DNA sequence: GTCTATACAAGGATAGAC
DNA sequence: GTCTATCCTTGTATAGAC
């Protein structure tokens, strides 16, 4: 009877539940870290029995790695297409704005990534040593070529990248501190613009470049 | 017999053990977060029985708060004496160098502080809302007065402070990532100088100021 | 595919011997 | 003051009913 006219397609429920679990897990891992998070609390947040979480993700470690994978994927969408022929000011500004945007929109992702690295990157060390290092190498080469072409002030390209990462991600990771100090409940559109404009001004000026937007 | 000629003064052992526990706890809390750290692992790291840790610090929560207190105290040693009459370039440069120095020397303190804020600052919200906010207010006033005096470019003082915090603390919190990408095992003296020089150049230039040290 | 019931280990905390 | 033995809770994981 109830087996013939299915309300949902076979994989539909699975997909839906998996997604709910992943979102709940992301939220819990942010608040208590990997070891500090229990499968029970994830199940509660996902409104599913604990055994269900195990059924879908086998173990806590596998679930955590699934969450990390999701985050890295989102991260990789902002890979900044730089080229030696491109304009440094425009390229850097685009990258900074994209990173700020990502930090404001997905602070949780940034927070889990940060926690993972703070704790010594036990699950990401390989990714950093290979993928991320290569990405940085390719970008520093382009920045060096810009410098050789006299397009910008000679600054250390690696530290420039670290500066962009640290300043943009700060608004996600230290969200609580920033909002509390500025006496706000959440970021507004104008805050995002102000932050991006400020960071573009500071970083581009430091590189001897002229930001397209001036400060208020 | 053994009660008369004491080898150590009464409070001596207590002080020594407390210190050992605090150091061990700091180390464990960095690696696994508050909830993820067990009293057993702290006791093991301090080379004492578990019950001893409870004897000295009553509960895990109290021990964690003791660790946080220690960190805040160290933090407050770098309060940067700014004044409206002072020189912006010199003042900012001193502050940046002091912060980099602290990050390199005590990365663990920075990491615990970062983890605490990432998780929503459950134990530090009050401190941020009162002490830290007041500190920031007093500094922004001074920076604003520098701007009014035409001593520097008009940039948002709050975001300037956030930039100094984020860029300097990055070298502590994201130590693992920075070292892995730059293919190093640990920071060397010349790295510290390079980082400080770079940050001073970028931040001061962005403020329309001239760093005392030029880039290589 | 879903969930209840349960096995078994680990964690926080304390009583009480030394 | 120090530490062993123990209590009770919570955690991960799974077996087996539905």
Q: Could you write out the DSSP letters of every residue in B62-100?
A: HHHHHHHHHHHHHHHT------TTS-HHHHHHHHHHHHH
pLDDT (0 to 100) of residue B9: 55
Other CB atoms within 10 Å distance of the CB of residue B116: 23
Cβ(B186)–Cβ(B192) below 8 Å: no
B80 or A60, which is more confident: A60
Q: List the single protein residue with the shortest CA to C1' distance from C11.
A: B38
- Rounded to an integer, the average pLDDT of B67-91 is 91
Q: State the average pLDDT for chain B.
A: 93
Residue-wise pLDDT tens digits, A117-148 = 999 999 999 999 999 999 999 999 999 999 99
Chain B's closest residue to A137, CA to CA, is: B181
pLDDT (0 to 100) of residue A1: 37
Class of domain A10-68: mainly alpha
pLDDT (0 to 100) of residue B216: 58
Residue-wise pLDDT tens digits, B80-109 = 789 999 999 999 999 999 999 999 999 999
pLDDT above 70 (res A10): no
CA A213 to chain B, closest CA, distance in angstroms equals: 13
Q: State the average pLDDT for chain A.
A: 93
The fraction of chain B above a pLDDT of 90, given in percent, is 87
CA A190 to chain B, closest CA, distance in angstroms equals: 14
Measure A74 CA to C2 C1' (Å): 31
Sign of CA dihedral B187, B192, B193, B196: positive
Residues of A in contact with B30 (CB under 8 A): 118-119
pLDDT above 50 (res B129): yes
Point out the least confidently predicted range of A128-142, B39-53, B70-84, B199-213. B70-84
> Which DSSP symbol is given to B26?
H
pLDDT (0 to 100) of residue B69: 96
The residue of B180, B194, B201, B216 whose CB has the most chain A CBs within 10 angstroms, and thus the best one to mutate to test that interface, is B180
CA B124 to chain A, closest CA, distance in angstroms equals: 9
pLDDT above 90 (res A69): yes
User: A156 is written with which tokens?
Assistant: 């250390």
Name the band, by pLDDT with cuts 50, 70 and 90, for residue B1: very low
Q: List the single protein residue with the shortest CA to C1' distance from D11.
A: A38
Chain B's closest residue to A119, CA to CA, is: B31
Name the band, by pLDDT with cuts 50, 70 and 90, for residue A32: very high
pLDDT above 50 (res B52): yes
Name the band, by pLDDT with cuts 50, 70 and 90, for residue B3: very low
User: B144 is written with which tokens?
Assistant: 């604003």
Distance CA B92, CA B209 (A): 10
Distance CA B180, CA B204 (A): 28
On strand D, nucleotides with any atom < 7 Å from a protein CB are 1-5, 10-16
Distance CA A179, CA A171 (A): 9
Measure B24 CA to D6 C1' (Å): 26
pLDDT (0 to 100) of residue B2: 37
User: A58 is written with which tokens?
Assistant: 């086998």
pLDDT above 60 (res A216): no
User: A35 is written with which tokens?
Assistant: 């070891």
Name the band, by pLDDT with cuts 50, 70 and 90, for residue A81: confident
For B178, which of A33, A129, A162 is closest by C-beta distance? A162
Which CATH architecture is the domain A77-206 placed in?
A: Orthogonal Bundle (1.10)
pLDDT above 70 (res A82): yes
pLDDT above 60 (res A107): yes
Output the CA–CA distances (angstroms, integers) from residue B56 to A178, B50, B62, B74, in the order listed.
35, 10, 10, 22
| Residue matched to tokens 């991600």 | A169
| Residue matched to tokens 């007093």 | B138
Give the residue among A158, A156, A162 at the shortest CA–CA distance from A207. A156
CB-hemisphere CA count at 13 Å for B76? 10
Cβ distance A114 to B181 less than 8 Å, yes or no, reads no
Distance CA A35, CA A37 (A): 6
Chain B's closest residue to A158, CA to CA, is: B182
pLDDT above 90 (res A158): yes
Measure B1 CA to C8 C1' (Å): 48
Same fold, A10-68 and A77-206: no
> Which DSSP symbol is given to B209?
-
- Rounded to an integer, the average pLDDT of B35-42 is 97
CB-hemisphere CA count at 13 Å for B23? 11
Measure A174 CA to C2 C1' (Å): 40
- Rounded to an integer, the average pLDDT of B189-213 is 96
User: B193 is written with which tokens?
Assistant: 């100088």
CA A138 to chain B, closest CA, distance in angstroms equals: 12
| Residue matched to tokens 């608040």 | A31
Residues of A in contact with B115 (CB under 8 A): 33, 115, 118
- Render the burial of B32-49: b for 16+ CB within 10 Å, e for the rest: bbbbbbebebbbebbebe
Please report, for chain B, the start and end positions of each structural domain, with discontinuous segments joined by +. 10-68, 77-206
Chain B's closest residue to A111, CA to CA, is: B118
Number of helices and strands (H, E) in chain B? 11, 0
- Rounded to an integer, the average pLDDT of B184-196 is 98
Note the helical H segments in chain A. Answer: 10-36, 39-46, 50-57, 60-76, 88-105, 107-118, 125-127, 133-148, 157-173, 175-181, 189-206
Residue-wise pLDDT tens digits, A164-200 = 999 999 999 999 999 999 999 999 999 999 999 999 9
Name the band, by pLDDT with cuts 50, 70 and 90, for residue A13: confident
Residues of A in contact with B27 (CB under 8 A): none
């Amino acid at each position: 009877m109830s087996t013939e006219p299915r309300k949902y397609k076979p994989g539909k429920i699975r997909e839906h539940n998996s997604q709910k679990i992943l979102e709940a897990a992301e939220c819990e891992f942010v608040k208590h870290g990997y070891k500090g998070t229990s499968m029970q609390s994830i199940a509660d947040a996902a409104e599913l029995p604990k055994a269900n979480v195990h059924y879908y993700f086998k173990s806590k470690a596998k679930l955590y790695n699934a969450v990390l994978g999701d985050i890295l994927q989102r991260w990789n969408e902002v890979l900044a297409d730089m080229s030696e022929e491109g304009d440094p000011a425009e390229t850097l500004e685009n990258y900074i704005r994209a990173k700020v945007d990502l930090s404001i929109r997905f602070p949780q992702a940034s927070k889990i990534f940060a926690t993972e690295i703070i704790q010594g990157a036990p699950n990401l060390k390989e990714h950093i040593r290979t993928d991320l290092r290569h990405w940085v190498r390719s970008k520093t080469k382009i920045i060096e070529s810009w410098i050789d072409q006299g397009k910008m002030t000679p600054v250390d390209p690696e530290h420039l990248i670290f500066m962009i990462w640290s300043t943009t991600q700060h608004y996600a990771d230290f969200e609580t501190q920033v909002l509390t100090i500025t006496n706000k409940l959440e970021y507004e559109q104008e805050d995002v613009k102000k932050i991006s404009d400020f960071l573009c001004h500071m970083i581009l000026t430091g590189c001897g470049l002229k930001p397209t937007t001036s400060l208020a």
